[in-house]
Amino acid sequence: MIARDGSGPSLTSLPGAVALSIVLLLALTTLLTGCGLSDFSRERLSVEKGDHGWLLAVEPDEEFSVDLLGSNAYPDARWAVVEFDPAVLSAQGSEFEPPRFPQVAEDPGESRVDATFSHFTFVGAGPGSTALRFELLADDARIDIARYTVEVVDDSCAAATAAVANRCGGDGFTYMPQILSADRYAERFPMAPDTTTAVRLAATALHPDARWRVEAYDDAVVSVSEPVALGPAREEGDYGPVEWVVSHTFLPEWEVVITGVAPGESIVRMSLEADGVLLDTFMVTIVVEPEAS
In a domain, 262, yes or no: yes
The CATH number of whichever domain residue 97 belongs to comes to: 2.60.40.2020
Residue 36 lies in a domain: no
- How many distinct structural domains can be found in the chain? 2
Enumerate helices (H) and strands (E) in the chain, giving the number of each: 2, 16
Categorize the per-residue pLDDT at 94 as very low, low, confident or very high, splitting at 50, 70 and 90. very high
Query: How many other CB atoms are there within 10 angstroms of residue 254's CB atom?
Result: 21
The count of residues in the chain is 293
- Which residue range(s) make up the domain with 253? 11-28+176-292
Q: Which of 287, 277, 292 is nearest to 74 (CA)?
A: 277
- The mean predicted confidence, pLDDT, of the chain is 84
Q: Which H or E run includes 148?
A: strand 141-152
Instruction: Tell me the pTM.
Output: 0.81
Q: Which of 168, 185, 205 is the C-terminal boundary of a domain? A: 168
The phi and psi torsions of 17 (rounded to 5 degrees) equal: -65, -40
Same domain, 215 and 147: no
Q: Is residue 88 part of a domain?
A: yes
Which of 131, 151, 168 is at the close of a domain?
168
- Sequence-distant (6+) residues with CB within 8 A of 61 are 123, 124
The answer to whether residue 38 is domain-embedded is no
Q: In what order do the strands lie in the sheet with 45-48?
A: 45-48, 63-69, 117-124, 89-97
Residue 65 above 50 pLDDT?
Answer: yes
Specify whether 76 is located in the same domain as 160. yes
pLDDT at 237 over 50: yes
Q: What is the pLDDT of residues 262-272, one digit of tens each?
A: 999 999 999 99
> Does the residue 185 lie in any domain?
yes
Residue type at position 16? G
* pLDDT band of 102, cuts 50, 70, 90: low
Pick the range with the lowest mean pLDDT from 57-61, 138-142, 279-283.
138-142
Task: Report pLDDT digits (tens) over 116-169.
Answer: 789 999 999 999 999 999 999 988 889 999 999 999 999 999 999 999 999 998
Q: Give the residue among 120, 183, 180 at the shortest CA–CA distance from 150.
A: 120
Q: In this structure, what are the phi and psi dihedrals at residue 197, rounded to the nearest 5 degrees?
A: -145, 160
- Specify whether 57 is located in the same domain as 126: yes
pLDDT for position 244: 87
pLDDT value at position 7? 39
Residue 33 lies in a domain: no
Burial of residue 213 (number of CB atoms within 10 Å: 0-12, 13-18, 19+): middle
Work out the number of other CB atoms within 10 angstroms of the CB of residue 108: 18
Percent of the chain's residues with pLDDT above 70:
80
pLDDT tens figures, 8-58: 444 344 444 434 443 433 443 443 334 444 576 778 999 999 999 999 999
pLDDT at 73 over 70: yes
Of the candidates 143, 168, 193, which is a domain's last residue? 168
**159 and 181 share a domain?**
no
